[in-house]
Structure 1
Amino acid sequence: MKDNVSDEDLIQEYTEMSKAFGKPATIDELKRTTEYSYDIYRQHFGTIGELRETCGFKVKTKRAAPIITKVIV
């Protein structure tokens, strides 16, 4: 996907958005509030965790727990 937005513009938008929410914006809040699409953010930063880290936030993101199975032989 080609876009005309810089990383700095996205960082500024996300930082201002998070400041308005009083915490790092969630994916749902980002999707509802952004001038751009969430796909643009993913294209530039990969994950919400990487975006937050780039913006200077120290927040752990939830990751799906791996499914562990035990095979009885």
Structure 2
Amino acid sequence: MAGIYANLAQLMASREISISRTPFNPDIVVIKRASFPKGETPAHLDKYLIKKGECAGKTGTLVHKGRIVPATAVCVAEKHGK
């Protein structure tokens, strides 16, 4: 398994980094970029926004591109050209 050496105190003090543990293996620490603030969307993601009620009522699973996925995800993919 690959590992990295990092100053944990610096990482924990940074607002740009999120540190958490995985419930599947508590010995592993997950380090990733922090999400954007609630209610804000970066400009490059605006085209992927899902409007309220856009795919409401879609339940169950469907096959999309050879994979079984939630029907809501298929609806969003079709509307956003994925």
TM-score (norm 1): 0.21
Report 1 or 2 for greater relative contact order, CA contacts < 8 Å, sequence distance ≥ 6. Answer: 1
* Structure ID, larger Rg: 2
Bigger fraction of residues in helix = 1
- When the two structures are superposed, what TM-score results if normalisation uses the length of structure 2? 0.20
Higher strand residue share: 2
